[in-house]
Amino acid sequence: MTEEQWGELLDLDADVLAGAFAALVAELPVPRSPERIVDLGTGTGVGTFALLTRFPDAHVTAVDVSAENLRRLQENARARGLGDRVHTVEADLDADWPDLAASGAPDLVWASASLHHLADPAVALGRIRDLLAPGGLFTLVELTDFPRFLPADAPAERPGLEERCHEAIARVNAAHVPHLGLDWQSALTAAGFTVAAHRDVAMSVAWAESPSVGRYALGTLRRIRQTAGDQLAAEDLAALDRLIDADGPGSILRRDDVVVRTERQVWVASTPVPA
């Protein structure tokens, strides 16, 4: 998948899940409105925009290794009239971190679906702990899986296809994305955080609720095809190919039963305030 295709998929993800992220952010147990927020592995800004909307006095420093994602984020910020409240920083969080406290230590650090990509999340958690202002909060959002789109009995010729795709991806991820599904609660505690809140958030978005659902499903299934296609039986691969053929009669774009279903785990954690 090229940087551009990946950025496009993140934009679709942000579009489809914007309401769900707004609800997630609305329920964060944050005692006082943060002013300086850092979003680590921001993507194209799904979390940044939810945070800026909930906290109208806040500015976000949005960090990502991908210049293309940050370009899209800036474009999205301008389109929403939020350009002057977002500062982007291109940085590889596996390397030395840039100074993310140049204009004051952040009172909220947010990392959504990004820490599992890092070589050593424990190192990142230690840096986040040291970066936060005294009394500041860290919100960690992690996903356990790729989203699902189809009913269990679809498609008619290969029922259960999506489940088998997910089993195939899990095998690939176990080798290539080993920190997906890490025991984050223990990792946070080991890094010196106190977990103030933890919950599982189920997100469900039907096509009628977002016109981007079809293209999001198509893009995600294409990514699954690219990542784990070689793990599938020939009949499953053929059925998947019919779903991702945008112009074909079996295309997912022609189905009226597509619902995005995904889950996030959310932790809100603090560090001890020095006496």
Q: Which residue's C-beta sits nearest to ligand SAM?
A: 43
Nearer to ligand SAM, 93 or 132 (CB): 93
Strands in 137-143's sheet, in edge-to-edge order, are 86-90, 59-64, 36-40, 108-112, 137-143, 259-270, 194-206
Give the relative orientation of helices 234-243 and 161-176 as an angle to the nearest 10 degrees: 100
Nearest distance, CB of residue 114 and ligand SAM, angstroms: 4
| 118 is a contact residue toward ligand SAM (CB under 6 A) | yes
Binding mask 51-70 for ligand SAM (x = CB under 6 A): -------------xxx--x-
In angstroms, rounded to a whole number, what is the distance separating the alpha carbons of residues 34 and 257? Answer: 40
Count of chain residues binding ligand SAM (CB under 6 A): 19
To the nearest whole angstrom, how small is the minimum distance from the Cβ of residue 122 to ligand SAM?
A: 14
- Binding string, residues 21-50; x marks residues near ligand SAM by CB under 6 A: --------------------xxx--xx---
Asked if 112 touches ligand SAM (CB under 6 A), the answer is: yes
Interface residue list for ligand SAM (CB under 6 A): 10, 13, 41-43, 46-47, 64-66, 69, 92-94, 112-114, 117-118
